[in-house]
Amino acid sequence: MGNPIKKAATKTAKKAYEHAPESVKDKLKDKAKEKAVEKVEETVQSKAKKASGKLEEAKEKNADKVHGKADNAEDKVQDVLLSVREKLKKAKEAGEAFQEKMSSSDDRGGKGAKNLKGVSSIKSSQSIKSSTDIKSSENIKSSKDIKTITS
């Protein structure tokens, strides 16, 4: 259990305290208070140092994790940007090919951007035929009106 020397010293100290005068007892109480305060301060400081050390370790671990994840995120962003760049390049090439096709079809006489009708070529309401302009049955040609080739 306890150390026999420590037990003997404790008993001797108790007996000496009992036989000591009041002034000495008061000094001993003051000294005991000071020692108790010092002991508590030391304990609190050591616990604070341990907690500070643990916090420092946790901070370093978190910093390592953050840097690792930042590197991974940077790699992923680079990959995405490269793929977007390639897709934009393909879209640009397709647009250029389409423009080339459109301009070459203009040269061949096909319908291109130059041959498309504009707003000015749309008929107005005045140029639409009315019911009076429709041919009647009298004006329709028959088989007699067809010219034949005669020699």
Sign of CA dihedral 96, 100, 101, 105: positive
* Residue 7 dihedral angles phi and psi, to the nearest 5°: -60, -45
Helix, strand, or coil here: 74? helix
Which value, in Å, is the radius of gyration of the alpha carbons in the chain?
Answer: 54
Read off the tokens for 42.
């030391």
CB of 14 within 8 A of CB of 3?
no
CA of 78: how far to CAs of 83, 92, 120, in Å? 9, 21, 51
Read off the tokens for 91.
């879209």
Read off the tokens for 38.
């010092």
What gap in Å lies between CA 78 and CA 70, rounded to an integer? 12
Q: What is the pLDDT along the chain (151 residues), one digit of tens a residue?
A: 568 888 888 888 888 877 778 887 788 888 889 999 999 999 999 999 999 999 999 999 999 899 999 999 999 999 999 999 999 999 999 999 998 888 776 555 555 566 677 777 777 777 777 767 776 767 777 777 777 666 5
